[in-house]
């Protein structure tokens, strides 16, 4: 049989050939560049040789030398250094010194740069041009004592993170917060003036700089050479006056113009708090219009001229007392009394003090906890709306007990799962036994905490529920765990 012909034209052959062609093209480019560089260098050598040949035939030769030139304002001096030709004498440092003496250079002469330039010029037989060999001394202006606001402090206002995938513009606000004792400004001491001099020794008189005189105002204090905040608040500045405002006063609504509010002092809001915005205060919150609650917290009192609307997801937590016109579909906690003018509708309201409505005030729907009791004109409705009133207990302890209960249930389920795995004698039984011991220890600690809290929950056996008008069916009342 005839011998089968081998296929030499393969995909590998095509790829190898193409790669070779690219390599050859790069080689041509490198060779061309080298040839061009070689041609230019050869041309320079030829020109140099020809010129030296002419010099020899004419008997021309020159010694090394330098040229000095001053800037227009005589604050800088530059020099060009030229090497010798043929058998000429090299440039000497004394030659340069003579030129410097002739030019009357007496200020800021840089001898190190001069020595390096002379050495390079002689050894490498090449020109060294535009070397700065002297610098004058600039005058230093006189500056009076003045106050300078910290740059970093002025730039502290929040700005959005442009690299974030999603920007919450509610977290951006125009307020510059400051903490008590924080440095706001620095007191810059007086600086004496000093005359300057040109390289030739001519005196340049100093000037006097004027600084804006800033005036520290309310709630600021001097601490050594600094001005600090005397209280928590917002940094304010108008003209040349600056101060710390311990009250944040918002002229309009809390919305995207203000962003969320987180302020260490009192907050006064003259408009409404729009839905979706948070307001935190280290003291009290005063709101003249309706508060659409999303997340409202204050360490002291909450005073609202209108009402609170929670839309079934709003949370309000107050350390002190609450005064409000109405509460609707909201979760509210207060450390002291809650006084409501009109009524409470479908809300969870908890107080360590007393919950009280004014004349004709009503409570309809929801659940109310009040350690010292509840007063209202009407509770419930004729349609039998479920309304729960629980008095005499500390709701905060009840919350802790509920949390312990939930954790207990969660840990018990995990313990059962681990027990079953240990019975199966899995390879990780030793590790599981260790985890089982930790869970049992946690359960024991939780149960001990619960026992301690139970004894503290009933705080007021004298708590009363007073209804001056109508009390409708569907109302559940409990005082210190005794129901009616």
Per-residue pLDDT tens digits for 206-220: 999 888 888 898 988
Which residue did the predictor score with more confidence, 11 or 394? 394
pLDDT of 237 above 60? yes
Interatomic CA distance for residues 80 and 89, integer angstroms: 17
Give the pLDDT of residue 432.
Answer: 77
Assess contact for 266 and 286: CB atoms under 8 A: yes
Tokens 């995909």 label which residue? Answer: 11
Span 229-239, mean pLDDT?
A: 85
Interatomic CA distance for residues 348 and 385, integer angstroms: 14
pLDDT of 23 above 80? no
Residue 446's nearest CA partner among 412, 481, 483 is: 412
Give the pLDDT of residue 285.
Answer: 93
The tens digit of pLDDT for each residue in 81-133 reads 999 887 788 999 998 999 999 989 999 999 999 999 999 999 988 899 999 99
pLDDT of 289 above 60? yes
Give the pLDDT of residue 324.
Answer: 94
Task: Read off the tokens for 151.
Answer: 């740059």
Span 7-30, mean pLDDT?
A: 58
Q: What residues are paired with 287 via a beta bridge?
A: 269, 304
pLDDT band at 395 (very low <50, low <70, confident <90, very high): confident
Determine if the pTM surpasses 0.85.
no
Span 17-39, mean pLDDT?
A: 62
pLDDT of 157 above 90? no
pLDDT-wise least confident of 156-165, 346-355, 365-374, 473-482: 156-165
Give the pLDDT of residue 31.
Answer: 62
On the 0-12 / 13-18 / 19+ scale of CB atoms within 10 A, 215 is exposed
Give the pLDDT of residue 206.
Answer: 93
Give the pLDDT of residue 150.
Answer: 82
pLDDT of 79 above 70? yes
pLDDT band at 162 (very low <50, low <70, confident <90, very high): very low
Residue 375's nearest CA partner among 396, 394, 360 is: 360
Task: Read off the tokens for 298.
Answer: 């204050």
Interatomic CA distance for residues 387 and 39, integer angstroms: 103
Length of the chain: 484
Span 370-390, mean pLDDT?
A: 90
Secondary structure, 3-state, the chain: CCCCCCCCCCHHHHHHHHHHHHHHHHHHHHHHHHHHHHHHHHHHHHHHHHHHHHHHHHCCCECCEEEEEECCCCCEEEEEEECCECCCCCCCHHHHHHHHHHCCCCCCECHHHHHHHHHHHHHHCCCEEEEEEEECECCECEECCEEEECHHHHCCCCCCCCCCCCCCHHHCCCCCEECCCCEEEEEECCECCECEECCCCCEECCCECCCCCCEECCCEEEECCEEEECCCEEEEEECCEEEEECEEEECCCECCCCCCEEECCEEEECCCECCCCEEEECCCEEECCCEECCEEEECCCEEECCCEEEEEEEEEEECCCEEEEEEEEEEEEECCCEEEEEEEEEEEEEECCCEEECCCCEEEEEEEEECCEEEEEEECCCCCCCEEEEECECHHHHHHHHHHHHHHHHHHHHHHHHHHHHHCCCCCHHHHHHHHHHHHHHHHHHHHHHHHHHHHHECCCCCEEEEEEEECCCEEEEECCEEC
Tokens 């729907």 label which residue? Answer: 365
Give the pLDDT of residue 20.
Answer: 59
Give the pLDDT of residue 461.
Answer: 77
Give the pLDDT of residue 305.
Answer: 92
pLDDT of 51 above 80? no
Which residue did the predictor score with more confidence, 227 or 50? 227
pLDDT-wise least confident of 38-42, 122-126, 162-166, 189-193: 162-166
Give the pLDDT of residue 351.
Answer: 92
pLDDT-wise least confident of 176-180, 188-192, 193-197, 213-217: 176-180
Span 286-314, mean pLDDT?
A: 91
Task: Read off the tokens for 364.
Answer: 């309809």
CB atoms under 10 Å from CB of 133, counted, come to 25
Task: Read off the tokens for 323.
Answer: 């005064």
Q: What residues are paired with 146 via a beta bridge?
A: 188
Give the pLDDT of residue 311.
Answer: 85
pLDDT of 475 above 70? yes
pLDDT of 301 above 80? yes
Give the pLDDT of residue 238.
Answer: 84
Average model confidence (pLDDT) across the chain: 83
pLDDT of 323 above 90? yes
Give the pLDDT of residue 52.
Answer: 57
Tokens 């020159």 label which residue? Answer: 62
The tens digit of pLDDT for each residue in 404-447 reads 888 888 888 888 888 887 777 756 677 778 888 888 888 888 88
pLDDT band at 363 (very low <50, low <70, confident <90, very high): very high
Interatomic CA distance for residues 227 and 221, integer angstroms: 6
The tens digit of pLDDT for each residue in 217-231 reads 898 899 889 999 888
Give the pLDDT of residue 435.
Answer: 81
Give the pLDDT of residue 214.
Answer: 87
pLDDT of 169 above 60? no
pLDDT of 263 above 50? yes
Residues sharing a CB contact under 8 Å with residue 200, sequence separation 6 or more, in sequence order = 70, 74, 103, 104, 105, 106, 107
Residues sharing a CB contact under 8 Å with residue 47, sequence separation 6 or more, in sequence order = none
Interatomic CA distance for residues 125 and 104, integer angstroms: 28
Give the pLDDT of residue 2.
Answer: 47
Give the pLDDT of residue 9.
Answer: 45
Give the pLDDT of residue 11.
Answer: 59
Span 343-355, mean pLDDT?
A: 93
Give the pLDDT of residue 374.
Answer: 93
Assess contact for 114 and 139: CB atoms under 8 A: no
Assess contact for 76 and 199: CB atoms under 8 A: yes
């Amino acid at each position: 049989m005839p011998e089968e012909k081998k296929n030499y034209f393969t995909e590998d052959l095509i790829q190898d050939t193409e790669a070779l062609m690219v390599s050859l093209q790069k080689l041509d480019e490198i060779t061309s560049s080298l040839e061009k560089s070689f041609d230019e260098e050869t041309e320079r050598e030829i020109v140099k040789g020809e010129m030296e040949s002419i010099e020899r035939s004419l008997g021309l030769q020159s010694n090394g030398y330098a040229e000095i030139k001053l800037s227009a304002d005589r604050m800088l001096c530059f020099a060009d250094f030229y090497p010798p030709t043929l058998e000429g004498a090299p440039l000497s440092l004394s030659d340069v010194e003579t030129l410097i003496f002739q030019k009357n250079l007496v200020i800021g002469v840089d001898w190190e740069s001069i020595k390096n330039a002379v050495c390079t010029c002689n050894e490498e037989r090449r020109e060294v041009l535009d070397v700065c060999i002297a610098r004058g001394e600039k005058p230093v202006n006189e500056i009076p004592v003045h106050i300078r606001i910290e740059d970093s402090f002025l730039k502290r206002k929040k700005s959005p993170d442009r690299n974030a995938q999603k920007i919450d513009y509610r977290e951006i606000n125009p307020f510059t917060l400051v903490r008590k004792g924080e440095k706001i400004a620095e007191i810059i001491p007086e600086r004496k003036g000093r005359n300057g001099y040109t390289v030739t020794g001519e005196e340049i008189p100093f000037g006097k700089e004027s600084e804006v005189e800033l005036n520290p105002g309310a709630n600021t204090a001097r601490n050594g050479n600094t001005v600090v905040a005397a209280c928590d608040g917002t940094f304010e500045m108008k003209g040349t006056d600056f101060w710390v405002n311990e009250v944040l006063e918002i002229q309009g609504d809390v919305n995207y113009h203000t962003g969320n509010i987180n302020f260490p002092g009192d907050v006064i809001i003259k408009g409404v708090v729009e839905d979706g915005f948070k307001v935190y205060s280290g003291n009290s919150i005063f709101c003249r219009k309706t508060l659409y609650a999303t997340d409202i917290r204050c360490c002291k009192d909450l005073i609202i001229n209108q009402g609170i609307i929670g839309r079934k997801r709003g949370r309000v937590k107050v350390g002190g007392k609450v005064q409000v016109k109405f509460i609707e579909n909201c979760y509210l906690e207060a450390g002291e009394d809650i006084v409501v003018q009109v009524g409470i509708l479908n809300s969870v309201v908890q107080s360590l003090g007393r919950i009280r409505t004014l004349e004709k005030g009503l409570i309809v729907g929801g659940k109310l906890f009040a350690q010292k009791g509840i007063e209202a004109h009407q509770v419930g409705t004729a349609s039998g709306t479920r309304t729960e009133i629980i008095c005499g207990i500390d709701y905060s302890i009840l919350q802790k007990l509920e949390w312990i209960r939930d954790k207990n249930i969660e840990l018990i389920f995990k313990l059962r799962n681990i027990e079953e795995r240990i019975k199966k004698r899995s390879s990780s039984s030793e590790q599981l036994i260790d985890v089982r011991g930790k869970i049992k220890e946690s359960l024991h600690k939780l149960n001990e905490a619960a026992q301690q809290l139970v004894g503290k929950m009933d705080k007021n056996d004298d708590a009363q529920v007073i209804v001056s008008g109508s009390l409708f069916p569907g109302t559940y009342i409990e005082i210190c765990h005794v129901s009616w």
